[in-house]
């Protein structure tokens, strides 16, 4: 019993090259996306452990390296070098380079997705993230979590009482980690 693949004729080198040229556009888009993610990433969210940031960076750089290798492989399949063009085209070699390049492209995108997952690392909220602020006026300084207020006012809950201060009376306002 033989498989159908053994009886199928190999694709023509021209067909393989046309497919490779089509994949080049997809690969360049993936490479651009990887570069854009690297530019937009910045320093990442505060509170993510340094080890996770390093792993995310290594994954992103690996994605870039794999995407570059994939572009070279598919590019060689699409546009053979002069020396290789002088010889008859080997459809198996072109097909293998195209398949490997496509697989590396998908792997690069997957590595970039894993790298981006570090942005969703759970981070414990500090006092400032909970809305704790210290408000100073000429009369007093109060500290507590922000609450809903009307336009032109800052409202907070300080020592079991609600305090509302007009914006014009505020001499200082700063987020704090605790009100002690």
Give the model's pLDDT for residue 130: 62
Q: Are 136 and 171 in contact (CB under 8 A)?
A: yes
Give the model's pLDDT for residue 85: 55
Give the model's pLDDT for residue 128: 47
Q: Which residues contact 119 (CB under 8 A, 6 or more apart)?
A: 41, 44, 45
pTM recorded for the entire structure: 0.57
**117-157 pLDDT tens trace:** 877 777 665 544 567 889 999 989 999 988 888 898 999 98
Give the model's pLDDT for residue 100: 94
Residues 41, 101, 89: CA angle, nearest 5 degrees: 150
Residues 22, 23, 26: CA angle, nearest 5 degrees: 105
Query: 155 — phi, psi (to 5°)?
Result: -120, 140
Q: Which residue(s) pair with 163 in the sheet? A: 156
DSSP label at 90? -
**34-70 pLDDT tens trace:** 777 766 665 555 667 888 888 888 998 898 899 889 9
- 47's tokens: 């509170």
- Show me where the domains of the chain are located: 9-120, 132-175
In CATH terms, the fold of domain 132-175 is SH3 type barrels. (2.30.30)
Mean pLDDT of the chain: 80
């Amino acid at each position: 019993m033989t498989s159908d693949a053994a009886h199928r004729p190999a694709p023509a080198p021209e067909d393989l090259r046309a497919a490779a040229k089509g994949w080049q556009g997809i690969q360049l888009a993936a490479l651009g996306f990887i570069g854009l993610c690297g530019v937009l990433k910045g320093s990442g969210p505060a509170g993510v452990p340094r080890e996770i940031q390093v792993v995310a960076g290594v994954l992103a750089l690996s994605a870039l390296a794999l995407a570059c290798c994939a572009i070279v492989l598919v590019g060689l399949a699409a546009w053979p070098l002069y020396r290789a063009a002088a010889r008859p085209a080997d459809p198996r070699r072109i097909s293998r380079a195209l398949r490997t390049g496509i697989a590396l492209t998908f792997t690069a995108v997957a590595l970039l997705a894993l790298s981006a997952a570090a942005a969703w690392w759970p981070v414990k909220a500090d006092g400032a993230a909970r809305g704790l602020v210290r408000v100073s006026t000429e009369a007093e300084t109060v500290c507590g979590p922000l609450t809903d207020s009307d336009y032109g006012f800052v409202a907070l809950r300080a020592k079991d009482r609600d305090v509302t201060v007009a914006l014009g009376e505020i001499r200082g306002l700063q987020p704090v980690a605790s009100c002690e």
